[in-house]
Amino acid sequence: MARKVSDTRRWTFTILAWGVALAIFFPILWTILTSFKSEADAIASPPKFLFFNWTLENYAEVQSRSPYFRHFLNSVIISVGSTLLGLLFAIPAAWSMAFQPAKRTKDLLMWMLSTKMMPAAGVLIPMYLLFRSSGLLDTRIGITVVLMLINLPIITWMLYTYFREIPGEILEAARMDGASLGKEILYVLTPMAVPGIASTLLLNVILAWNEAFWTLNLTTSKAAPLTTFIASYSSPEGLFYAKLSAASTMAIAPILILGWFSQKQLVRGLTFGAVK
Amino acid sequence: MATRHQKTLARFMVAPSVLLLLGWMIVPLAMTLWFSFQSYNLLSPGMEQFIGWTNYKYFLSDPAFWQAMTNTLLIVIGVLVITVGGGILLALLLDQPIMGQGVVRILMIAPFFIMPTVSALVWKNMFMNPVNGLFAWVAKAVGAQPVDFLAQYPLMSIIGIVAWQWLPFATLILLTALQSLDSEQMEAAEMDGASAWAKFTHLVLPHLSRAITVVILIETIFLLSVFAEILVTTNGGPGYASTNLTYLVYSQALLQYDVGGASAGGIIAVILANIVAIFLMRMIGKTLE
């Protein structure tokens, strides 16, 4: 039943909500706007909001001064690669935990989650030394494997919550109709599992894209994704606001768009199905 | 009923993930533990030797350690208070009948998708910079002295930046939970003449408790290891004013090459995280059942 709402109330809340939302979004908006300014306009006082000479030169400059697209490509390879690799291990595990739960399955899932609680600082040194001695430092394959290990618990948990919602009776019905195991997987289970796998993929690509402990410590240049590349703007280039903004905008735009699409899955994915 | 064959298959399917995670936990952790009892500096290779608890004594008696420990907890607690408190308020606001709710949600969730190095640099340079930052301009415009946030209030500034990143997450989850609240129950309470505050404490808050628990759990996992925000804004300074345990271990190992001392710090960080984890897992186990 819809409750009647007075106009004043509706307007008050609308204005309040828009105000708060714009305030929260403002740093991002400001970064995007600044990326189209000249360096002089970027630090003009009073600040110029919309009325300045819009220019694309910063975007050209970022690429010409640094191999921006290589870092972008690294980000894509590392985030997608680590997620696909994680799915490879997590799908069978989540599958069997959802459909063949043993007595200890719940404990096992809790334990997996608890590995996320281990602070990176506790394992940074051996990982760094191992990577250094085996030549994995600043390689894509090295950082991809580490990010896979970090996100494996989340990937498994997410898939588990999705798989558990596939009704077991459907399998039995298919079996009664004489479907072989292969057909059962191909025609019955796969179509029902694909949406869950897709949302898991999406969310974990976002998490891996933004991961900024291991990428900062284990990559420097060749394999450096955007997180590390942007960190190099810390000084002194950081003082060039327009270029910093252009590089930042390019680094966040793809994931921001993906993120907006995955809002709904985000909630259930990150809360392990506890909040839907 | 699962047959023996199916059970074996199930184990076989779970085993690779479990072994991977087990290896990932045990191998590096055992190495850190081993290093923590060694005198081991990367600048003097070949001089490693067993020195017992010396690294721990040194680390625990270092004032930097206690400061880093305090800072770690302050970051976790500060950000949790802001994001959970603010998240509840924002979720209640967004749950009202507002126009363009979809767009408002999209704007509000955005900071969660921004990579930490970008948000830290944007805040540091374009907002908190005492000369060219927007905050400095606002201060000058109202005739006040611009504040050098990262030099004068480094820890609070970092808490602010991290809270900005996590507030959307808390809001989104609490809002989702709020929307599943039974509206008939609310109407019944209204008819009984319950005040807004009574409705909030007796209906809304209990309904949200599960979601709040989850938010605290997830955020704590990430907040114990805040790193990039510190690295690109203050480098832990001035002094150790904004160094947390993660950053201290990093600087001890990769900037001062003291593997032994840093490893002792790493083990202490693990112990701290475990204490927090046990506490959290209990809490979550209770609410999630």
- Per-residue pLDDT of chain B (289 residues), as tens digits, is 456 777 777 778 888 888 999 888 888 888 989 888 888 887 777 777 888 888 888 888 888 889 999 999 999 999 999 999 999 999 999 988 888 888 898 899 999 999 999 999 999 888 888 888 888 888 888 888 888 888 889 999 999 999 999 999 999 999 988 888 877 777 788 788 878 888 888 888 888 888 898 899 889 888 988 999 999 888 887 888 999 889 998 988 888 888 888 889 889 888 888 888 788 777 766 665 5
Domains of chain A from N-terminus onward:
7-59 (no CATH), 66-234 (1.10.3720.10)
pTM of the model: 0.89
Interface residue B138 vs chain A (CB under 8 A): no
- Give the CATH number of domain B62-257: 1.10.3720.10
Mean pLDDT of A156-185: 79
* Contacts with A251 from chain B: Cβ below 8 Å: 115, 118
How many angstroms separate the CA of residue B92 from the nearest CA in chain A?
A: 10
The predicted-structure confidence for A50-61, as pLDDT tens digits, reads as follows 777 788 888 888
At A276 the pLDDT is 65
At B227 the pLDDT is 92
Map chain B to HEC letters. CCCHHHHHHHHHHHHHHHHHHHHHHHHHHHHHHHHCCEECECCCCCCCEECCCHHHHHHHHCHHHHHHHHHHHHHHHHHHHHHHHHHHHHHHHHCCCCCCHHHHHHHHHHHHHCCHHHHHHHHHHHHCCCCCCHHHHHHHHCCCCCCCHHHHCHHHHHHHHHHHHHHHHHHHHHHHHHHCCCHHHHHHHHHCCCCHHHHHHHHHHHHHHHHHHHHHHHHHHHHCCCCHHHHHHCCCCCCCCCCCHHHHHHHHHHHCCEHHHHHHHHHHHHHHHHHHHHHHHHHHHHHHC
Could you give the ipTM of this predicted complex?
A: 0.86
Domain ranges (residues) in chain B: 62-257
For residue A234, the chain B residue with the least C-alpha distance is B232
Question: What gap in Å lies between CA A272 and CA A98, rounded to an integer?
Answer: 14
The answer to whether the CB atoms of A124 and B250 lie below 8 A apart is yes
For residue A107, the chain B residue with the least C-alpha distance is B285
How many angstroms separate the CA of residue B270 from the nearest CA in chain A?
A: 6
- Band of the pLDDT at A1, cuts 50, 70, 90? very low
Interface residue A232 vs chain B (CB under 8 A): no
The predicted-structure confidence for A137-163, as pLDDT tens digits, reads as follows 888 999 999 999 999 998 998 888 888
At A236 the pLDDT is 64
